[in-house]
Amino acid sequence: MKLENLPKSKETKSVKRVGRGPGSGMGKTSTRGENGQKSRSGASIPAWFQGGQSPLYRKLPKRGFNNKRFRCEFACINLSDLSKFFKDGDVVTPEILKERGIIKNSLCGIKILANGELDKKLTIKAHRFSSKAVSKIEEAGGKAEVI
């Protein structure tokens, strides 16, 4: 067996030359067919494209974990609301807030926010406080107690 008699391997296979006349068998349309999107230049259709119909991944229902059911939301109250509804020296608890109709439901708890001014000395018992709210409450002479 001689070197020139060896069968051609894939590495030495000649490149397909398209659009080089009718004699090559790959002229005119350059092996792209007659008409349509794929015969045009620059046509690259994503593998998941289904011809314009509603794709399968949108027809199937969503499944898996969703945190909406388990997330914990707090009823937020501003300091301005507390200064409207309470007198100087009062104790503010979630039960009192619910009784007076300031909050409808306490959800996971109550959070006090620092919006507005507090000019009364209040002892506020809540589940969470913003850092500015704590400083404003203590400036007015009150206490912020975490439940």
Domain 75-146 has CATH 3.40.50.620: no
Q: Are 86 and 123 in contact (CB under 8 A)?
A: no
Among residues 117, 106, 116, 146, the alpha carbon closest in space to that of 129 is found at 146
Measured distance CA(113)–CA(72) in Å, rounded = 17
List pLDDT tens digits, range 72-108. Answer: 889 999 999 888 888 888 899 999 999 888 888 878 8
With H, G, I as helix, E, B as strand and everything else as coil, classify residue 38: helix
Q: Are 67 and 41 in contact (CB under 8 A)?
A: no
Q: Quote the pTM value.
A: 0.54
**In this predicted structure, what is the pLDDT of residue 59?**
94
List pLDDT tens digits, range 17-44. Answer: 999 999 888 999 988 988 988 888 888 8
Among residues 80, 147, 91, 84, the alpha carbon closest in space to that of 123 is found at 91
